[in-house]
């Protein structure tokens, strides 16, 4: 029968050389074997099975969907573990109103969390759903062997592949599809985590969660509605529209937030599928008591604020919750967090601990350090300005500087300094910023207005019959500028008054300084 197939196969490749012919022999053998074995379901190649004396017993792994993690392994010996994963190409939500055709291990992004023990013999079965378009495979970084299993698990739609590996190295490992173009397969969501628990296990904690970051490249901007496709150009340029935890914007927010109680120990298994970006993983308001950097088995650091997680890498972080509240998980590369979706939540419930964190104790107005300094600086400026003013006054030509020029100059000052509160119209904002237009308060007392500009004006006051109680900070202006701007406001917005001179301002400033 092999000869028969050889004849068929060699006949369609007349132009290829003897080297290919030799390989065709091998391939044809495979074709023969495969066709027969497929009838029985999973092919069994008995010849390649080697008995591992360490292995005791057989069990099926129970992978979990994020953010859940399978329970710690209780057995104290290696076993044969059968892991079954199904690849599915599914349309799911990427963000509100935004759908995406995800390629997934197990139907979700990230792929199912697999937990095995150091020394286990894993029989891995990868099935490619019959309705999928693409061939897929899996490269588990936990595998020691060519392609991490990729070559042995390459699977057409509607087929199943099987390979076995021994989990030699403990640690938290990324797995991903490695079919060309690999960036696209990963960029469509084909990644997950496999934990190879060390023989001695991990220290017990109250909660274990699974968080995995990944970015998505869509033709539409963040939030643009409809079914979005993979954008090859943006992927090559590394310009994602989305950077998310657990496969979608909001997957760890609100009702989906991670949860713990005060005083509990939390362990996060954090992965980064990429395909391109390195994560600056951070939990706002928590300090990681322990970090197993890059998913290794040694607690490498204590008291860490932000840990780097490379694309195709992981980290284990542990912390104790000390106070209640909502703690935000972010990629501290912040535009990813606030503009591309890289936000999650950990909600901690329980009694306050005011010794650790007080909450807000004081809510007071702060005028800034510059206030007294300004007054001191203003004083020296005022002295100089007074001298200048005297000089000007003694020069009859320059003394011709009239009210109109003052108003033009004052208007510029107003539009740079005053308008933000008092508004370009001088009408202010009712109840918040008092009006200057037709203001009885303003026009009643020139010296008071000058003082208000120099030292600010804080506290209750009544303008045109309305009460105000706000803060006007001191305004950093020269006496001349104050004279000009007050001349402007006293002669604009329906007001009619005389000019304010630089000397008048200087005099008020001097009085303030003496107080």
Partner 1 sequence: MFARFTAGAFTGAAAIVLLLAVPVTGAEAPALPGMVIVPAGIYRPLFRGEKDPKEISVPSFALETVPVTNVDFLEFVRARPQWRRSQVKRLFADPGYLQHWTGDLDFGSPENGARPVVFISWFAAKAYAAWKGARLPTTAEWEYVANVGFTSVEGAKDVDFRHAVAKWYGTPAPDVLPQVGAGRANLFGVHDLHGLVWEWTSDFNSTFVTGDARGDTGVDRQLFCAAGSLGNGDPTNYPAFMRFGFRSSLKAAYTVHNLGFRCAKDL
Q: CA torsion, points 111, 113, 117, 118, in degrees to nearest 10? A: 50
Q: Minimum CB separation from partner 1 for residue 231, in Å?
A: 9
Q: Which part of the chain contacts partner 1 (CB under 8 A), choosing from 133-141, 199-207, 397-405, 476-484?
A: 133-141
Element (H, E) at 125: strand 121-128
Cis peptide preceding 443, ω within 30 of 0: no
Q: Minimum CB separation from partner 1 for residue 251, in Å?
A: 21
Q: Among 43, 70, 72, 135, which residue sits at the site for partner 1 (rule: CB under 8 A)?
A: 135
Q: Minimum CB separation from partner 1 for residue 151, in Å?
A: 6
Q: Which part of the chain contacts partner 1 (CB under 8 A), choosing from 89-97, 264-272, 373-381, 474-482?
A: 89-97
Segment 155-194, which members bind partner 1 (CB under 8 A)?
A: 155-159, 178-182, 184
3-state secondary structure of 10: helix
Q: Does 496 bind partner 1 (CB under 8 A)?
A: no
Q: Among 105, 165, 175, 230, which residue sits at the site for partner 1 (rule: CB under 8 A)?
A: 230
Q: Does 303 bind partner 1 (CB under 8 A)?
A: no
Q: How many residues bind partner 1 (CB under 8 A)?
A: 54
Cβ-proximal residues to 402 (8 Å cutoff; 6+ apart), any chain: none
E-strand stretches of 24-144:
58-60, 80-95, 98-105, 114-117, 121-128, 139-140
Q: Does 3 bind partner 1 (CB under 8 A)?
A: no
Q: Among 104, 137, 251, 279, which residue sits at the site for partner 1 (rule: CB under 8 A)?
A: 137
For residues 160 and 301, which CB has a smaller minimum distance to partner 1 in the complex? 160
Which candidate, 253, 254, 231, places its Cα nearest to that of 242? 231
The pair phi, psi for residue 300, each rounded to 5°, is -80, -25
Q: Minimum CB separation from partner 1 for residue 303, in Å?
A: 36
Element (H, E) at 463: strand 457-463
For residues 178 and 392, which CB has a smaller minimum distance to partner 1 in the complex? 178
Q: How many residues does the chain have?
A: 515
Q: Are strands 114-117 and 80-95 parallel, antiparallel or unpaired?
A: unpaired
Q: Minimum CB separation from partner 1 for residue 111, in Å?
A: 17
Q: Which part of the chain contacts partner 1 (CB under 8 A), choosing from 129-137, 239-247, 350-358, 469-477?
A: 129-137
Segment 355-414, which members bind partner 1 (CB under 8 A)?
A: none
Q: Minimum CB separation from partner 1 for residue 422, in Å?
A: 55
For residues 232 and 333, which CB has a smaller minimum distance to partner 1 in the complex? 232
Q: Among 132, 241, 449, 484, which residue sits at the site for partner 1 (rule: CB under 8 A)?
A: 132
**Surface-to-core class of residue 437, CB atoms within 10 Å of its CB (0-12 exposed, 13-18 middle, 19+ buried):** middle
Q: Minimum CB separation from partner 1 for residue 81, in Å?
A: 24
CA distances from 417 to 421, 476, 482 (A): 9, 9, 11
Per-residue binder mask for partner 1 (CB under 8 A), 5-44, x = binder: x--xx--xx--x--xx-xx--xx--xxx-xxx-xx-----
Segment 235-294, which members bind partner 1 (CB under 8 A)?
A: 236
Q: Among 57, 59, 131, 352, which residue sits at the site for partner 1 (rule: CB under 8 A)?
A: 131
For residues 80 and 234, which CB has a smaller minimum distance to partner 1 in the complex? 234
Give the CA count within 13 Å in the CB-facing half-sphere of 153.
32
Element (H, E) at 435: none
Instruction: Judge whether 453 and 482 are in contact, CB under 8 Å.
Output: yes
Q: Does 51 bind partner 1 (CB under 8 A)?
A: no
Cβ-proximal residues to 145 (8 Å cutoff; 6+ apart), any chain: 152, 165
Q: Among 50, 51, 74, 130, which residue sits at the site for partner 1 (rule: CB under 8 A)?
A: 130
Q: Are strands 343-349 and 325-331 parallel, antiparallel or unpaired?
A: antiparallel
- The CA distance from 236 to 221, in Å, is 16
Cis peptide preceding 153, ω within 30 of 0: no
Q: Minimum CB separation from partner 1 for residue 37, in Å?
A: 10
Q: What angle do CA 55, 58, 59 make, to 5 degrees?
A: 130
Cis peptide preceding 181, ω within 30 of 0: yes
Structure-token match 């970084």, residue found: 141
Q: Among 3, 48, 146, 362, which residue sits at the site for partner 1 (rule: CB under 8 A)?
A: 146
- The CA distance from 347 to 252, in Å, is 10
Query: What is the binding site for partner 1 (CB under 8 A)?
Result: 1, 5, 8-9, 12-13, 16, 19-20, 22-23, 26-27, 30-32, 34-36, 38-39, 89-91, 101, 130-135, 137, 139, 146-147, 150-151, 154-159, 178-182, 184, 227, 229-230, 232, 236
């Amino acid at each position: 029968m092999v000869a028969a197939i050889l004849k068929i196969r060699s006949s369609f490749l007349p132009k290829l050389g003897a080297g290919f012919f030799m390989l065709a022999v091998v391939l044809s053998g495979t074709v023969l074997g495969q066709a027969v074995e497929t009838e029985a379901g999973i092919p069994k190649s008995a010849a390649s099975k080697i008995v591992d004396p360490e292995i005791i017993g057989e069990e099926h792994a129970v992978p979990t969907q994020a953010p859940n993690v399978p329970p710690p392994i209780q057995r104290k010996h290696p076993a044969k573990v059968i892991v079954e994963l199904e690849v599915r190409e599914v349309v799911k939500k990427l963000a509100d109103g935004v759908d995406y055709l995800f390629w997934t291990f197990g139907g979700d992004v990230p792929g199912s969390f697999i937990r095995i023990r150091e020394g286990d013999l894993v029989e891995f079965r990868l099935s490619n759903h019959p309705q999928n378009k693409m061939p897929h495979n899996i490269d588990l970084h936990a595998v020691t062997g060519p392609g991490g299993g990729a070559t042995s698990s390459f699977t057409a739609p509607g087929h199943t592949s099987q390979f076995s590996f021994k989990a030699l190295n403990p640690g938290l490992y990324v797995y991903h599809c490695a079919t060309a173009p690999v960036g696209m397969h990963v960029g469509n969501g084909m990644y997950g985590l496999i934990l190879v628990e060390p023989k001695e296990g991990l220290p017990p904690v109250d909660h274990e969660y699974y968080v995995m970051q990944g970015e998505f490249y869509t033709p539409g901007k963040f939030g643009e509605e409809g079914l979005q496709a993979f954008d090859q150009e943006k992927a090559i340029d590394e310009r994602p529209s989305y950077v998310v935890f657990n496969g979608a914007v909001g997957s760890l927010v609100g009702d989906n937030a991670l949860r713990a109680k005060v005083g509990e120990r939390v362990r996060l298994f954090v992965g980064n599928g990429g395909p391109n970006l390195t994560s600056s993983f951070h939990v706002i308001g928590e300090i990681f008591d322990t970090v197993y950097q890059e998913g290794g088995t040694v607690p490498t650091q204590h008291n860490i604020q932000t840990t780097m997680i490379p694309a195709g890498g992981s980290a284990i972080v542990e912390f104790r919750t000390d106070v209640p509240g909502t703690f935000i998980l972010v990629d501290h590369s912040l535009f990813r967090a606030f503009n591309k979706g890289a936000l999650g939540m950990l909600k901690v419930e329980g009694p306050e601990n005011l010794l650790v964190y007080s909450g807000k104790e004081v809510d007071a107005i702060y005028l800034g350090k510059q206030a007294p300094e300004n007054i001191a600086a203003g004083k020296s400026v005022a002295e100089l300005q007074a001298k200048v003013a005297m000089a000007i006054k003694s020069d009859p030509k320059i003394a011709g500087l009239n009210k109109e020029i003052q108003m033009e100059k004052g208007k510029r000052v107003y539009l740079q300094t005053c308008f933000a509160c008092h508004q370009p119209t001088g009408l202010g904002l009712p109840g918040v910023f008092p009006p200057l237009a037709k203001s009885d308060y303003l026009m009643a007392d020139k010296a008071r207005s000058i003082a208000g500009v120099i030292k600010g004006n804080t506290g209750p006051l009544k303008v045109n019959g309305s009460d105000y109680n706000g803060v006007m900070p001191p305004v950093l202006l020269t006496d001349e500028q104050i004279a000009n701007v007050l001349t402007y406001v006293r002669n604009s917005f329906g007001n009619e008054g005389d000019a304010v001179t630089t000397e008048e301002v200087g005099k008020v400033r001097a009085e303030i300084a003496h107080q």
